[in-house]
Structure 1
Amino acid sequence: MSRSTRFLAPILGILALALTGCAAPVTAAHDSTRAGDGTTTYPLTIENCGETVTFDQAPERIVLLESAPATILDGLGVLDRVVSLAGPFPDEYYDSGLAGRIDAIDTLSDRIDAAGHLTISAEVVLAQEPDLVLGLPDGLTRTGLLDGGSNTLVQPVYCPTGVEDTSFDSLYEQIEIYGQIFDRNDEAQELVADLKARVTDVESATANAPERTAAVLYPSAGGGPLYAYGRASMSQPQLEAAGFTNVFDDTPERVFEVSIEELIDRDPDVLILLYQGDDGGVEDEVRTLPGSDALRALTESNVLVQLFNFTEPPSPLSVVGLERIVERFGTGS
Structure 2
Amino acid sequence: MTKHLIAPGVMALVLTSTAVTAQQTSYPLTIANCGHTLTFEGPPENTVALGQSTTELLYLLGLGDTVSGTAVWFNPVLPQFEELNDGIERLADNDPSFESVVNKKPDLVTVMYEWHVGPEGIVGTREMFHDVGVPTYVMPTECEKKDNLVGLDGTRSELFSTDQLYKSIAQLSEIYDVQDRGAALIEDLKASESKAIEKASGLSLPDGTSGLFWFSSAEIDTNPFVAGQKGVPAYMMDKLGVENVVTSDEEWPSVGWETLAKADPTFIVIAEMDRRRFPADDIEKKREFLMNDPVAREMAAVKKGRIITIDAHAMSPTVRAIYALDQVADALAGYDLK
Task: Compute the TM-score of the two structures, normalised by the length of structure 1.
Answer: 0.80
The verdict on how the C-alpha distance between 1:62 and 1:185 changes in structure 2, with shifts beyond 3 A counting, is same
In structure 1, what is the equivalent of residue 156 of structure 2? 163
Contact 2:212 2:267 survives alignment (8 Å): yes
The verdict on how the C-alpha distance between 1:57 and 1:275 changes in structure 2, with shifts beyond 3 A counting, is same
For residue 324 of structure 2, what is the amino acid of its counterpart? Answer: G
Contact 2:160 2:232 survives alignment (8 Å): yes
Q: Distance in 2 between matches of 1:317 and 1:185?
A: 21
Aligned residues: 303
Alpha-carbon distance, 1:88 to partner: 3.2
> 1:88-237 residue pairs with structure 2 within 5 A?
88=73, 90-91=75-76, 93-95=77-79, 97-110=80-93, 118-135=94-111, 137=116, 138-159=122-143, 160-161=148-149, 162-164=155-157, 165-208=159-202, 209-211=204-206, 212-220=209-217, 221-237=219-235
Q: Distance in 2 between matches of 1:70 and 1:243?
A: 32
For residue 95 of structure 2, what is the amino acid of its counterpart? Answer: T
Contact 1:27 1:74 survives alignment (8 Å): no
For residue 194 of structure 2, what is the amino acid of its counterpart? Answer: T
Q: Please, which of 251, 267, 286 is the counterpart of residue 254 of structure 1?
A: 251
In structure 1, what is the equivalent of residue 278 of structure 2? none
SS in 1 for 2:211: strand
What CA deviation, in whole Å up to 9, does each residue of 1:68-104 have, x standing for no partner?
Answer: 123321222112210112243633x412x21221112
The verdict on how the C-alpha distance between 1:49 and 1:66 changes in structure 2, with shifts beyond 3 A counting, is same
Q: Distance in 2 between matches of 1:194 and 1:86?
A: 27
> 1:273-312 residue pairs with structure 2 within 5 A?
273-276=270-273, 277=275, 278-312=282-316
What CA deviation, in whole Å up to 9, does each residue of 1:154-180 have, x standing for no partner?
Answer: 334544254332022222222112222
Alpha-carbon distance, 1:11 to partner: 7.3
In structure 2, the gaps of 5 or more residues are 117-121, 150-154, 276-281
Identity percentage over the alignment?
Answer: 24
In structure 1, the gaps of 5 or more residues are 1-8, 15-21, 111-117
Q: Distance in 1 between matches of 2:303 and 2:40?
A: 53
Task: Compute the TM-score of the two structures, normalised by the length of structure 2.
Answer: 0.79
Alignment RMSD (CA, Å): 2.9
In structure 2, what is the equivalent of residue 5 of structure 1? none
In structure 2, what is the equivalent of residue 115 of structure 1? none
